[in-house]
Each structure stands twice: as structure tokens, then as C-alpha cells.
Amino acid sequence: MMSTNDIPIVVLKTYISAEINSTILGALLWGIYTIIYTITLYLYVYKKSPGNPLIIGSISLSYITYSAYSILVWYLVQSSFVNHSESRQTLFIALDHPSAHWPTLMYDLLIFVMAAVADGILMWRCYHVWGRSIRSITIQVFLILAEIALDFVVLIIPGVEHFNPSVNQREVLNRLIAAQTFITLATTVTSTFLIAYRLYTVSKQEIRQNSRTLIQHIIETVVHSAAAYSLAAAAQAIILIIPATPGNVLTLTSAMSYMTELFIFICGVAPTVLVARVVILEDADTRSSATLSVPISGLQFHMQSSHRSSVLQEANIDSEVADTAIPHLSENSDEKNRIVSI
């Protein structure tokens, strides 16, 4: 057990303050996430029929995981203050080195699940937008496998020492977790680029201006969602690889506490907001297409009501342009859907 007698009071105050404030921030973000998730679920389930169980399950799993994370953080901080508030030193030890070791394992697992869900949704859309081509997600699959292997190293290889690491061991583990985060960033950027490129090439074909504008809006929606997630992942990874020194320990401690909360929040909210925006786009396009002779639907998540909807892929843009507009797609409506799916 480390001695706290040599730790400056200002460091203890900064650490304890960061833990309190980041926990409160996490509770507020949980409330915001709950509102966003509820609205998205309502839009997806009641505005469109039928909804894709995969999309509902993914955003629900992400929300449940985030809720479990928030409850765990709140419980541990509350328990530390109730049972170990005799002095700043005892409170610091309770917060930084809890007597129970299982929370460390739970933290890693919950964060990994949320990142995997976010990456998985983008990979699934990329797979469909490229006509269910395995080659389109080869890089992402490799990165996901590397992330799983690295998570195995983080959780299993260090063994019991991982649950109560020394300072040097903690730095090594931070670098391993940072590598995981960089892999998540690479997976997100790769999937987003392939999706955006595919839709961009389709928008350059001879289709109606209304359809081209819709596709451009969809590209913006995907890029905005991925950009927020990517920036949060990059910031989280950079903070983890910066070595702690007497000169930066206060700033680094606070930044790590707050950034962890923001990263987990954005990791879950980004794909959820994307689903909500897509449903709104599709609903607006459905209303406007009633006045057009050649309609094109918005970004849909497997919601066509026709008989063929059971075999159409999730997350597609149902392109119903005339044969003369896209002649090489005119013979196969399923292919027309896949060419602009996401």
C-alpha cells in the first residue's frame, strides 16, 4: 500500500475534487443520455414499421452498459466518502486504491463493450452500403480482433496485479488501454471513410437533385457522428499515454477524470443520435416524396413495409430512381438499395 504522507495536500485536494465533479458530471450525462435514448427509441419504434431488432438491440445494449457504468461509479464514490472520510489521505486511498478489486475488471469490460457496439454499428452499415461485400470490412474486422486481443492482454495477462497495480504497472496498463483506444479510432475512421466515399460516388451519378441533396445530408450526418466519437477517442488515448510528472500531475489527473466520463458518454450517444437523425431524415423525405414523381427515401434501418422488406438489408437508402437515371441498377431493385445503403 502506498504512503500518502509524502503526497502534497494540493494533489490530494485536486484528485478528490476531480473525482467528485466527474461523478456529478457523469450523473448529468446519464440523464441526458436517458432522454436521447428514450426519444430515439420512440422515433424508431413508433415512427417506422417494422424496426430492425439489431439496431434496437445495439443502442439498447449501449445504454444499459452506460447505465451500469454510471451506477458503479456512483456507488464506489459514495461508498468511499461514507466509509473512508476520516482524512484526505484515507479518502484518497479509498478512491485511488479501493479494497475491492472487481471494479477495475468491470470498468474495462463495460468500456470495451460500449466501444465494440459503436464500432460494430458502423461496420454493419459499411458492410451493407458496399452491397454486403466482405472485403469492405476486412480492415475493420482485423482491427476489432486486434482490439479484442489487446483487451485480453489488459484483463488476463497481468493477473491479480492488474487489480492493484504499482505506479509502473499502471503506466504500462494505461499505454495498453491507450492502444485499444487508438485501434477504436482507426476502426471508426476507416468505416466512416468507406461509407462516405460510397455515398459520395453514388451522389455523382445522374440522379435527381433532390436525391443528391439527401445523400449529401446523410454523409454529413454520418461524418458528424463519427467525428465526435473519433475526437473523444483521440483525446482519451493521448491523455493515457502522457507520462505523469510533478509538473503536470494536477492537470493530468483532472483531465483524465473528466475525459473518461465524456468519452464513455460520446461512445454511447454518438450512434444513438445517428439513428435518431436518420429516422428524422427518412420521415421528412417520405413526406416530401409524396409530391415528387420519382421519390427517393431517406436513410432507413430496414423499415420497408413491402413484402421484400424481409430480405432487404438494414440501414439502406431505398433508391427508386428511374431506369434512365441509373441504368446499370434498373434490373435489380435490391442492388439499387444496397448501392446507397449505410
Cell numbers at 133, concatenated:
461485400
Residue 181 falls inside a structural domain: yes
Residue with cell 475493420: 140
Total count of residues recorded for the chain: 342
Predicted confidence at residue 165, as pLDDT, reads: 59
Residue with cell 493530468: 252
Average pLDDT across each block of 10 residues of the chain; the chain has 342 residues. List them in order: 68 91 96 97 79 88 97 93 89 79 79 90 87 91 91 66 60 83 94 90 69 76 90 93 85 91 95 88 71 45 41 40 38 44 40
Return the DSSP state at 245: -
Residue 53 falls inside a structural domain: yes
Predicted confidence at residue 68, as pLDDT, reads: 96
Number of domains forming the structure of the chain: 1
Please give the residue range of the domain that contains residue 265: 9-291
Cell numbers at 119, concatenated:
464500432
Residue 301 falls inside a structural domain: no
Residue 333 falls inside a structural domain: no
- Please give the Cα distance from 161 to 144 (Å, whole number): 26
CB atoms within 10 A of CB 243: 9
Predicted confidence at residue 331, as pLDDT, reads: 38
Task: Give the dihedral sign, CA 204/209/214/216.
Answer: positive
Q: Is residue 315 within 8 Å of residue 302, measured between CB atoms?
A: yes
Residue 313 falls inside a structural domain: no
Predicted confidence at residue 77, as pLDDT, reads: 93
Q: What's the burial of 14, exposed, middle or buried (CB within 10 Å: 0-12/13-18/19+)? A: middle
Q: Is residue 290 within 8 Å of residue 92, measured between CB atoms?
A: no
Helix (H/G/I), strand (E/B), else coil: 152: helix
* CB hemisphere CA count around 119 (13 angstroms): 29
* CATH number for 93: 1.20.1070
- Please give the Cα distance from 73 to 30 (Å, whole number): 12
Asked if omega into 50 is within 30° of 0 (cis), the reply is yes
Predicted confidence at residue 164, as pLDDT, reads: 57
Residue 308 falls inside a structural domain: no
Residue 312 falls inside a structural domain: no
Residue 339 falls inside a structural domain: no
